[in-house]
Amino acid sequence: EQAETIDNFDKYETYFSYSCDIKFVKPHAVLAINRGESNKVLSVNVKLNEWLQNKLFEFCKQKWLSQGSYSPNRARLFELSFQDSFKRLIKPFIVRSIRTQLNQTAEIASIQVFASNLKQLLLVPPMHGAVIMAIDPGYSHGCKVAVIDINGNVLVTDTLYIKFNKQPDRKNSMPSDKDVLSPFDSNQIDWIMVCAAHAVVASGSASIYSCSAEAKKEFPDLDPNVVSAISLARRLQDPLSELVKIEPKHLGVGMYQHDVPEKQLTSTLNEVVSECVSFVGVDINCASQAMLRRLAGLTDATAANIVKYRTESGGFKCREDLRKVKGIGEKRFEQCAGFVRISCTEQNKGKQYNPLDSTWIHPEAYETAHKFARNARVNLDDLGKDRFIAAVNSYIGGRSAESWAEEYATSATTMGLIIEAFRQPRDFDLRNFMIFRAWDLRLAKFARNARVNLDDLGKDRFIAAVNSYIGGRSAESWAEEYATSATTMGLIIEAFRLPRDFDLRSKLSKPLFKKGIQSLDDIASGTVLTGKVDNVTHFGCFVDIGLERAGLIHISKLKTVTLKLNDKVTVKVLDVDKARKRVGLELVEVLS
């Protein structure tokens, strides 16, 4: 039922005459109906089948009226009592139970979708080594501009007042890139990141961060709008490092998050963030406190202590230095050590530095890794280089991690992780399933057998030696030889084979850079566009096609294809509702 006191009721129009069997009602429909009911736009009625009441009446009649002498008054009194109790007590109880079950199912489904979208968003590949200009659009107060260097440091900030020519053709009235870049040295800028226009990245919550206490602490003298532009640039350069500064529920990748239990939502999303940060790993000598506190095993207090220790001591020289940080005991060290990395620099290069500290290999497995490197005849100083990877691949051959594990007297899991680590570059990102617990110390044996020096880890000669040692053997066969699991052996081999600068997120969907349509007037039914999946729900996917609001591919137009956040797609416009600013889309193709 429509409430006349509510002006913005069009979003609930779908449910004005909605009727559905409870077995088929969708989770998003349940939450939308609940919100409409809460806003007094909708009234909800659960209709029970008549046979339920009749069946229950017959049961009660058989139980209590089948005994004793029959009396019309007695039968009438029983019937009236049953009808009253069914109307006042039984039916409301059944309705409450049904709606409670529907709500619980819908809430769990909504949280799962939010968590899945959040994971995809956090793992968007970074754009390292680029100088980026970000523009936070504005009109009366101008466009806030920020330029950051390859390390994320702010080079310059400014405000641009862009004037639009009053011409009928809106496209011709737009300022050119030359006009925008005129105050800056455009030769030094690699990418221009304009909020929701050119580089299609998550930017909806930039203003939330810019007004936060953490932003004020980092940029005490800057206007929040300028901080917003800086945050946009950093999100393009390294999305994960910037997005962890914001509460995940504010990132705008879920639906009906305000209609689900906040405690359950917050707990689930925090777990996802921790999983992603641990999955990618952090350089402990440059990671922010916001990043460190999300690492598995650490808290905000221990993260603050880590920052304090590295400031006072000049940085961490090896993973063992973590034990010197206040609040990090044996158990906490065991939890987090595999997820932190220490890059080789002139400051920490020396006897204390171990090339394995730059990999996901846990310190408990260093002995096995060193042995494997020696056997593969690779130098760990070369870890990540082509020759190192080639040597690891040659040494491993086609053997499985299980076969290697037996040879090195360790578990297949440990051996697989060592092999994978030896195939990766020095700064390879950790996957969330690479959790290191109670490893057997067999890594050195594998390195010795591969005849590699772990100081060369990541270098070409190290990788070549490992590849030569591995040969065509599978991880399973190697795991058996090293007495470890195929998974562990495979991971060690993979780590030894990857180049030094490999980034796991490079395999994932990259940011989409595009320009073109700017208003609903630029599209019509039949227009074919490219875009990026902006949000995934139970009823379809929202695609950013360069407009103020994303278009919707209804689930019936997905052609049985399952899309994920940040997927690049080609779509066809089905309908344009200018009044409500809605665009209906149909999936044409998923782009690689």
Say which range, 36-50, 180-194, 493-507, has the weakest mean pLDDT.
180-194
- CATH code where residue 541 lies: 2.40.50.140
Confirm whether 388 is domain-assigned. no
Q: Model pTM?
A: 0.71
One domain for residues 156 and 218: yes
Residue 377's Cα: distance from chain center in Å?
A: 38
Looking at residue 170, its pLDDT comes to 44
Domain total of the chain = 5
One domain for residues 151 and 261: yes
One domain for residues 139 and 245: yes
Confirm whether 512 is domain-assigned. no
The answer to whether residue 68 scores a pLDDT higher than 90 is no
Q: 82-138: per-residue pLDDT in tens?
A: 999 999 999 999 999 999 999 999 999 999 889 888 988 888 888 777 788 888 877
Distance CA 198, CA 130 (A): 16
One domain for residues 136 and 258: yes
Structural domain harbouring 229: 132-162+186-266
Confirm whether 369 is domain-assigned. no
In the structure, what pLDDT confidence band is assigned to residue 444 with cuts at 50, 70 and 90?
low
Distance CA 344, CA 285 (A): 11
Confirm whether 275 is domain-assigned. no
One domain for residues 311 and 222: no
Distance CA 431, CA 464 (A): 24
Q: 476-502: per-residue pLDDT in tens?
A: 787 777 767 676 677 677 777 766 556
One domain for residues 230 and 319: no
In the structure, what pLDDT confidence band is assigned to residue 273 with cuts at 50, 70 and 90?
very high
One domain for residues 542 and 470: no
Confirm whether 393 is domain-assigned. no
Q: Which long-range contacts (CB under 8 A, 24 or more apart) does 39-45 make?
A: 39/3, 39/6, 39/12, 40/3, 40/5, 40/6, 41/2, 41/3, 41/6, 41/9, 41/12, 42/1, 42/12, 42/15, 42/16, 43/1, 44/99
Distance CA 12, CA 319 (A): 56
The answer to whether residue 348 scores a pLDDT higher than 70 is no
Distance CA 205, CA 200 (A): 14
Q: Give the Cβ contact number of residue 308 at 10 Å.
A: 13
Distance CA 576, CA 458 (A): 53
Confirm whether 40 is domain-assigned. yes
Strand-pair category, 199-200 with 582-590:
unpaired
One domain for residues 191 and 259: yes
One domain for residues 447 and 330: no
One domain for residues 118 and 142: no
Looking at residue 171, its pLDDT comes to 46
